[in-house]
Structure 1
Amino acid sequence: MTQETQLSQIYLDANATTPVLERAADAALMTMKTMFGNPSSSHITGLQAKQLMEQTRQKARTVLGSGNGRVIFTSGATEGIQTGILSALCAAKKQMKPKQQYTLLYGATEHKAVPESLKHWNKILEINAEVKAIPVDGHGRLDQDFIAKEVPNALMICTMAVNNETGVYQDLAELETVIRTNHATVFWMVDCVQALGKRKLNLAQTTIDYAPFSGHKLYAPKGIGFVYIRDNAPLTPFIAGGGQESGLRSGTENLPGLAALNVIFDELLKEGNSEFVDVETLRQYRNQLAKTLKQAFPTIVFNNQFTNSVPTTLNFAIPGFSSKEIMDLFDAANIRVSSGSACSSKVTRSFVLDAMGLPAWQSESAIRMSFGPATTQAEIDAACERIGHCAQALGHSCLMQASNEISNKESLDGLVQFKIGGACCWLFADKQSKVAIIIDPLPELVERLKTILECQQLTLLAVLDTHGHADHESSRVAFSLATTASDHLGWPPQTETIEYNGLQLASLSFGRYQLALLPTPGHTADSVSYILLEQLPAKLVIKYVFCGDLILMGALGRTNFTTSSNDAMYNSIQALAEVITEETLLCPSHDYNNEFTTTLSAEMSRNSILNQVIQGELSATEFAKAKRLIDADINDETGTEIMCGAAVCGKDTFTLQEYTATELETQIANNQNLLLIDIREPHEYALNHNRAFDQNVPLTRLTDFVGKHSHNKAQPLILVCRSGSRSQAAAQALARLGFNNIGHLKGGYALI
């Protein structure tokens, strides 16, 4: 296998962490080599170390405008947050009056380290105050009326100078007026992590009691930070021990980290020739990136207002694309961005944008692009060029309108699965007849589907729902195919009738295919299944069954809606089982566990109720009783999504062969029958990466791959993706369906 051509990295995730400034890294290394003394030692080596530490502290005081306030070095912002909260609550506890109800206030868009720390120490210290979030408006600004009302009963209030996801800054002077007018002595902590180097700070001129900072957010190494404590503000040491930092923070000081910080402070204090550019230059960088993004993605929506956010952060969403899709696309172009806070990278939506009241799709699709004051014009220019290439890649894959004619695009032929949350939408295209059908369209995908149809020059035969969905409105009408003649699921009245397995089924024909309709009520009274059949030379065979929420992966559709019927579902399961084989691929309306597709065989092996119904071992009455118990356990408290499946078994986990890059090379050399499959989406080849693979099977086409390769499940397969996560999920899904010689590249291309 030939390794992909690697482009230089453009790092635009500075709010998560920054690279270490070269001079700072050199200073840290030199300190480790030549100034390794313990600052607490009284000999010359120790005194030299102490001098460096105090020199760094003095520069920190100048940068912060700390006046008589203290600056204590810490391991980072989290420790600084603990120090401020513990100190404030220990002091506040002594002032509490019996039977009075107190609160602890924090901004709703605060980094999770703050509310979680408040809750932790509130419990440990047995203060038992009510922890309350301060609401924000659509621009991310704290609700000052709420503060005025709640702060009189507060022991502590925690706010942010600059938000880590959106870059939104708070007017600290206005906040101070509101806070001190209504509670002159309440303890106030301001998270200033993202403000350093981006907003002017003069802390001694404020009544802020505590302000934590982190070095690695501004080109210093990880593991070094500091906290400002206002003069006369109470301080309870968070770490006790040898009495370092004048007894305020024990533990041998991180001298290499301090040496690096010393360099960073020098850059912040320089009036000219600094490696850090000024704020106006940062604004120009942001404007250039924003202009490029708008040109590349015309429908882009920015989630932060530039008028009240620092110029180093852009937060945006692109309609029709998930944050993961855009992150993968940018990653393929070696542009590093994130979907929000790095500390919550596994979360699928932004609690910050939720708190601002932005639409769910913006929260779920958010991308954060952030840079720092050491970013250069050359890096911004290169990033803009690659963003343009990313847009071209989407156009070439028919996922976005291209500005000019696309050449050499691959014709779509077969089944494509799209997912929004747990909901599935299916597109089947026949390359020969240039006809397509859409099953269970989702509102979020309308524009993407229209773009694909136009780009591929496909004629849309039908847009169909498998039932009336409880969790979203049908978007069939958006395709201009819904007429008064069609029924409410989109099925037209003028159809053919075909006979299959003794049944007379209404059907639509296109090319060599027939799409037949089989009523399968139960989940809802109007539920149907669509059976896609292909005319082969000798016979008509079933390719796929779009079964709605009748049978899901690891579950049965719920039957506790007002139009549901357990008896009807029982009969529908048996009717469907009589028409299809145990290996027919089922394509449900929901996929909650990333399993893509399933078969009766796979489900019967792990779903005893389904197996008993099909085998005739369970009566309709017994099924209804069992089903009611299952449905009673459904939890609808899942945000905006209604769970449509009643799970009866957990997600299967299969033992897979995981290969390192070296082991993969050996496998390829020794196994001529091996298929090496790249499961990244085609548009991830943003900058003409080398495609040294036998086949490209993106996750959206995985069900199509299963349908075309079910005859040879012993074929050795190794799946590869960028990080190893998608290849693992796909390999698990294939193994569950009986592919018994499958593995994947552990860690993906990221670790090669």
Structure 2
Amino acid sequence: MHTEIYLDANATSAVHPAAIAAAALAMRDCYGNPSSSHATGLKAKAMLDGVRALARRVLGAGQGKLTFTSGATEGIQTAVLSALCEIRARRARGETTGDLLLYGATEHKAVPESLAHWNALLGTGLELRALPVDADGRHRLDVLRELAPRAAFVCTMAANNESGTISDLAGIEALLRECAPTALWMVDSVQALGKLTLDLAATRIDYAPFSGHKLYAPKGIGMLYVREGAPYTALMMGGGQEAGQRSGTENMSGIAALGAVLAALDDGASFRTHAQLVRMRERLAAALRAALPGIVFNAPFEHSLPTTLNFSVPGLAGKELLDLFDAAGVRVSAGSACSAAKAAPSYVLTAMQLAPWRCAAAVRMSFGPMADDALIDAACERIARCGAALRASCLIPSATPAQDSDGVVQLGVDGACTWLVLDAASRTCAIINPLAALAVRIADQVRCQGYRVRAVIDTHGGAGDGRAALVAALGGQLAGGISHEALGWPVLDDEATLDNGQVASALMFGTRVLARVAHASGASYLFGERSAAGLAAGDVRFAFTGPDAVIQELAELVSRKTIVCPACEAGSLPCTTLVAERGGAAPPANPLAMQLEAHGLERFFNDHPDALLIDVREAYEHAAADADHWHGRAVQSVPLSRLADRLSVWLRAEERPLVFFCRSGARSVKAAQCLHRLGYRNAWHVAGGVALGAMLPQAA
């Protein structure tokens, strides 16, 4: 599609070219075991000692210990084990210790989980207590002053990986010296390396873990600083490597690579200065403000790393923003990569007591100190494209009317569905089963598109809250001066005769009609082309039903190709038909049987020249991606939210091969499965979507 703009450096970084070269050199020419006494081993040991000396200088380690580890998690584990073993030993000697394991409420989850693990395993019986932070994300020093006399071990971080907030380490240190002189102190310094000035030996910090892959070194290499005289218990015992501090043959290629990064950091010229990084952040912030009206930055820049922006946008979910940026080739995240798979509001922002919507919708954009103006230029251009895509889709305010929408659109929250019936010719619409969570969005969209709402209706009782919320949000956009029945259906004189002779109340949309069919449990609504005789079963394109499909009541009124649009997704699929619900459709194919690999697309299209390649990402993603062609093939945009609308056409036409794709394959497989369930067997999806397909050579 286009080149990648990587702005997720707080999760991991690309490997520095010098680090790659150093690792290759270590594997090729310096492959000896540094514990060996022969010349090859001595050469390896000299390299190891040289990197350690460089690391000590960069960190200001003084006489403290500097041990190479596999990364920050191992360093944290080692520090926690060392501290808790010392606390247990002090108690055994009859010395007084605190009873609290105090950690910052915004710490990386590796810290509290390590504390809980070793506290239980060692039987120390200490109380874990989170130290709260203020609205800026900085530790509450007033609470620390109160709790410090009870603290046995204190864990804070130099800078937060999600918000970018820089801790007041000087303030924490002063309080610990005054109120907790014997408490041990660990500072997670992962995000500090290369971004903050470090002089560890000049501080009271006992333990400081680091991770190489956050600053252009490969994964699997890190460091642990231990202050001179601080207690230490080895996590790994065996061959006695690292002066007995960490057994196991050293990761020489990783250490060599880390050494190259430290050398670049030490030379004072390879990385951008603080002032340069601040200017880059300001340019990104300005681009975001222009593209995303109402954007709120979740941590004040004056207390944050100059390489991190954490923000939320009113009315837009975090996942929507991630999908949008990803479609545009801009890689950002919703927070810590370690917890990205857990669909929950950011615990970091929650600890800062920010508004729930900000915590749930937050996006993190981060870059490294090697960033240059070309990267920022490209990022700002892509951000502007994202804003334009959102405006064109009416997801943010736009002075330019959006393209006409016509037909049926599905919106949803947690499997519940809202359906929009849109008529572009008359600029009118009806909204069925509105969800309260979508009320403002729907009102903004119909306002942006210039539609007048004819009806806001439910299919069943108990859904009135959503209807009330939408009616309030619509204000003057809802057609007035009309009385309504219990489920919101307007009382009008228009009628349509259905296939069984029943005369139904109806709403006319040009040549189409929306007819109401009453049931004991509520109502269903039939939408299709009207004729002089009324609404024939074969002309009903869509049937909107309640949570439980009313099969018997609709059987005589619709055709086998009518798309049933339920109030809740049908088996996690967007829509269904009466035939499928009654078991008349063949069982869906094995997911693997409908799967295509991106590298096989050219052959597939050569064998099926009439096949359609369909992007099921939402319209704003498709626009941001500029994805009119993929692998040399023309692309149609059929968002998953419009799948039901297009299905009503595909099921009534001659079957042809359909190949769906999205970002990762999660949505495209859903589209293919839906078609298979409805009896359309010539449907496929691209495994891995554009995320993996982009790794392959593309046709011109």
Query: What is the alpha-carbon distance in structure 2 between the residues aligned to residue 107 and residue 587 of structure 1?
Result: 48
CA contact (8 A) 1:320 1:444 kept: no
Query: What is the alpha-carbon distance in structure 2 between the residues aligned to residue 283 and residue 116 of structure 1?
Result: 34
**1:405–1:513 CA distance, 2 compared to 1 (3 A):** closer
Q: Quote the residue 1:312 is aligned against.
A: 307
Query: What is the alpha-carbon distance in structure 2 between the residues aligned to residue 135 and residue 589 of structure 1?
Result: 42
Out of 325, 328, 331, the residue aligned to residue 336 of structure 1 is 331
Q: How much does 1:72 deviate?
A: 0.6
Query: What is the alpha-carbon distance in structure 1 between the residues aligned to residue 367 and residue 507 of structure 2?
Result: 54
Q: How much does 1:490 deviate?
A: 4.0
Q: How much does 1:111 deviate?
A: 1.5
Describe how 1:680-719 pairs up with structure 2 within 5 A. Answer: 680-683=617-620, 684-686=622-624, 688-691=626-629, 692-693=633-634, 695-711=636-652, 715-719=656-660
Q: How much does 1:179 deviate?
A: 4.0
Q: Quote the residue 1:749 is aligned against.
A: 690
Q: How much does 1:301 deviate?
A: 1.9
State the secondary structure of the residue aligned to 1:120: helix
Q: 2:241 aligned with 1:244, yes or no?
A: yes
Unaligned runs of 5+ in 1: 1-5, 552-571, 607-650
Q: Quote the residue 2:697 is aligned against.
A: none
Q: 2:5 aligned with 1:67, yes or no?
A: no
Query: What is the alpha-carbon distance in structure 1 between the residues aligned to residue 493 and residue 98 of structure 2?
Result: 70
Query: What is the alpha-carbon distance in structure 1 between the residues aligned to residue 597 and residue 690 of structure 2?
Result: 10
Q: How much does 1:579 deviate?
A: 5.6
Letter in 2 for 1:252: T
Query: What is the alpha-carbon distance in structure 2 between the residues aligned to residue 96 and residue 735 of structure 1?
Result: 67
State the secondary structure of the residue aligned to 1:394: helix
**1:252–1:653 CA distance, 2 compared to 1 (3 A):** same
State the secondary structure of the residue aligned to 1:677: strand
Q: Quote the residue 2:446 is aligned against.
A: 453
Query: What is the alpha-carbon distance in structure 2 between the residues aligned to residue 341 and residue 90 of structure 1?
Result: 30
Query: What is the alpha-carbon distance in structure 1 between the residues aligned to residue 251 and residue 119 of structure 2?
Result: 30
Letter in 2 for 1:193: V
Q: Quote the residue 1:427 is aligned against.
A: 420
Q: How much does 1:416 deviate?
A: 1.1
Query: What is the alpha-carbon distance in structure 2 between the residues aligned to residue 495 and residue 370 of structure 1?
Result: 59
Q: How much does 1:384 deviate?
A: 0.7
**1:712–1:591 CA distance, 2 compared to 1 (3 A):** same
Q: 2:544 aligned with 1:546, yes or no?
A: yes
Q: Quote the residue 1:614 is aligned against.
A: none
Query: What is the alpha-carbon distance in structure 2 between the residues aligned to residue 661 and residue 305 of structure 1?
Result: 43
Q: How much does 1:499 deviate?
A: 4.2
Q: How much does 1:150 deviate?
A: 4.3
Q: 2:197 aligned with 1:200, yes or no?
A: yes
Q: 2:124 aligned with 1:127, yes or no?
A: yes
Describe how 1:74-89 pairs up with structure 2 within 5 A. Answer: 74-89=69-84
Query: What is the alpha-carbon distance in structure 2 between the residues aligned to residue 238 and residue 470 of structure 1?
Result: 59
| Deviations 1:345-366 (CA, angstroms, capped at 9, x unpaired) | 2223322223323333323322
Describe how 1:478-557 pairs up with structure 2 within 5 A. Answer: 478-480=473-475, 481=477, 486-487=483-484, 490-500=488-498, 501=500, 503-519=502-518, 528-535=523-530, 539-541=535-537, 542-551=540-549
CA contact (8 A) 2:443 2:470 kept: no
| Deviations 1:143-166 (CA, angstroms, capped at 9, x unpaired) | 344444445444433222211111
Q: 2:416 aligned with 1:416, yes or no?
A: no
Q: Quote the residue 1:612 is aligned against.
A: none
Q: How much does 1:96 deviate?
A: 4.5
CA contact (8 A) 1:545 1:586 kept: yes
Q: How much does 1:123 deviate?
A: 2.9
Q: Quote the residue 1:369 is aligned against.
A: 365
**1:146–1:30 CA distance, 2 compared to 1 (3 A):** same
State the secondary structure of the residue aligned to 2:430: strand
Q: How much does 1:294 deviate?
A: 0.6
CA contact (8 A) 1:468 1:474 kept: no
Letter in 1 for 2:202: Q
Query: What is the alpha-carbon distance in structure 1 between the residues aligned to residue 580 and residue 122 of structure 2?
Result: 52
Q: Quote the residue 1:585 is aligned against.
A: 563
Q: 2:655 aligned with 1:662, yes or no?
A: no
Describe how 1:77-116 pairs up with structure 2 within 5 A. Answer: 77-96=72-91, 102-116=99-113
**1:509–1:213 CA distance, 2 compared to 1 (3 A):** same
Describe how 1:71-470 pairs up with structure 2 within 5 A. Answer: 71-96=66-91, 102-271=99-268, 274-349=269-344, 350-402=346-398, 409=403, 411-442=404-435, 445-446=438-439, 448-466=441-459, 467-469=461-463
Query: What is the alpha-carbon distance in structure 2 between the residues aligned to residue 257 and residue 189 of structure 1?
Result: 24
Please give the TM-score of this superposition, normalised by the length of structure 2: 0.88
Query: What is the alpha-carbon distance in structure 1 between the residues aligned to residue 118 and residue 172 of structure 2?
Result: 25
CA contact (8 A) 2:401 2:448 kept: no
State the secondary structure of the residue aligned to 1:686: helix
Q: Quote the residue 2:14 is aligned against.
A: 19
Q: How much does 1:735 deviate?
A: 2.8
Letter in 2 for 1:391: G
| Deviations 1:417-448 (CA, angstroms, capped at 9, x unpaired) | 12344443322212333322222444554554
Query: What is the alpha-carbon distance in structure 2 between the residues aligned to residue 22 and residue 49 of structure 1?
Result: 21
Letter in 2 for 1:588: P
Unaligned runs of 5+ in 2: 694-700
Q: How much does 1:380 deviate?
A: 0.5
Q: Quote the residue 2:574 is aligned against.
A: 596
| Deviations 1:251-272 (CA, angstroms, capped at 9, x unpaired) | 111222222222222232234x
State the secondary structure of the residue aligned to 1:61: helix
State the secondary structure of the residue aligned to 1:685: helix
Please give the TM-score of this superposition, normalised by the length of structure 1: 0.82
CA contact (8 A) 1:656 1:731 kept: no
Letter in 2 for 1:585: I
Q: Quote the residue 1:676 is aligned against.
A: 613
CA contact (8 A) 1:495 1:508 kept: no
CA RMSD of aligned residues (A): 3.2
Query: What is the alpha-carbon distance in structure 1 between the residues aligned to residue 492 and residue 263 of structure 2?
Result: 78
**1:433–1:173 CA distance, 2 compared to 1 (3 A):** same
State the secondary structure of the residue aligned to 1:378: helix
State the secondary structure of the residue aligned to 1:243: coil
| Deviations 1:579-605 (CA, angstroms, capped at 9, x unpaired) | 666765333344497422234554555
Q: How much does 1:536 deviate?
A: 5.1
CA contact (8 A) 1:678 1:719 kept: yes
State the secondary structure of the residue aligned to 1:16: coil
Letter in 2 for 1:418: L
Query: What is the alpha-carbon distance in structure 2 between the residues aligned to residue 709 and residue 536 of structure 1?
Result: 22
CA contact (8 A) 1:520 1:573 kept: no
CA contact (8 A) 1:476 1:490 kept: no
| Count of matched residue pairs | 674
Query: What is the alpha-carbon distance in structure 1 between the residues aligned to residue 551 and residue 594 of structure 2?
Result: 35
User: After the TM superposition, which of the residue ranges 723-732 and 483-492 deviates more from structure 2?
Assistant: 483-492
CA contact (8 A) 2:497 2:503 kept: yes
Q: How much does 1:220 deviate?
A: 1.2
State the secondary structure of the residue aligned to 1:140: coil
